[in-house]
Amino acid sequence: MDNDDVTAVDKNAASAVGTYTGMFGPHKITVSIEKIIGRSLTGYSIVTGNERAFSGPWQTVPEGIAFIAKEPGDHPEDGFFTLTFNSKAKTLSGRWDANDKKKPSVDLVLNHRVFRYNAKVGEYPQASQRLLKESDVENMRPEELRIMRNEIYARHGYNFQLEDMQTHFANVEWYMPVVLDVKDKLTALETKNAALIKRYENYGAAYYDRFGR
């Protein structure tokens, strides 16, 4: 392999570094390729409330690079990714296999995407844009309030642990799971609004049906 070939391979591999998101069965997953050093690749995945590191070797293929990246193996849900990076389409495609052979493989097609906080997205963007008043939430149903509150966290890329929230936001185009904790990412306004919404959420759960509101 001459110097030009080495340079081409290095550039091709380097272009794979980044974040990719898509569906992991019924859930959304984000896969982050963090570093490529020599012939080794490292990164992590985040899905269903879990963040797991992975590492493994890569090789050049016509589309770009292909790699098998293994998770540590100290968690019952660990496994390994067999993925191909398409340098033109900027996609990762392949599958994830659990270490537990009784569990089925999960096919993956993930698109390159950079997470950006956007206060304007969602059904209830006002919860991230202005300080809410009691009159804004007092007549809303508990389930509406719950979505409103969790949208605040979703805008910051929170990876939900609750099954129903995972399912709901998996079907939301703008949502991208990137972190397990957003407490330090919320604005002061969002923190106040989340507390107000939660208060009415709890109140509504107890009294909504009783009063027929």
93-135 pLDDT, tens digit each: 999 999 999 999 999 999 999 999 999 999 999 999 999 999 9
Residue 208's pLDDT band (cuts 50, 70, 90) = low
pLDDT classification of 209: cutoffs 50, 70, 90: low
- Give the residue among 52, 79, 57 at the shortest CA–CA distance from 68: 57
- The whole-number pLDDT of residue 146 equals 96
Mean pLDDT estimate for the chain? 91
- Which helix or strand (DSSP H or E) is residue 81 part of? strand 79-86
Say what the pLDDT of residue 90 is.
Answer: 97
How many whole angstroms separate alpha carbon 149 and alpha carbon 156?
Answer: 12
Helix (H, G, I), strand (E, B) or coil at 84: strand
Q: What is the mean pLDDT of residues 128-148?
A: 96
Confidence of residue 202 (pLDDT cuts 50, 70, 90): confident
For the chain, residues classed under CATH 1.20.58.1690 are 125-211
pLDDT for the residue 35: 95
Give ranges for CATH 2.40.128 in the chain. 3-112
Identify the band that residue 160 occupies on the pLDDT scale cut at 50, 70 and 90: very high
Q: How confident is the model at residue 138 (pLDDT cuts 50, 70, 90)?
A: very high
Contacts of 40 (CB under 8 A, 6+ apart): 55, 56, 57, 58
Residue 21 φ/ψ, nearest 5 degrees: -135, 155
**125-211 — its CATH code?**
1.20.58.1690
**What does the pLDDT read at residue 8?**
52
In one-letter notation, the amino acid at residue 76 is: P
Fold classified for 3-112: Lipocalin (2.40.128)
Q: Parallel, antiparallel, or unpaired: how do β-strands 18-24 and 27-37 relate?
A: antiparallel
Identity (one letter) of the amino acid at 103?
K
Contact present, 204 and 141 (Cβ < 8 Å): yes
* pLDDT of amino acid 5: 44
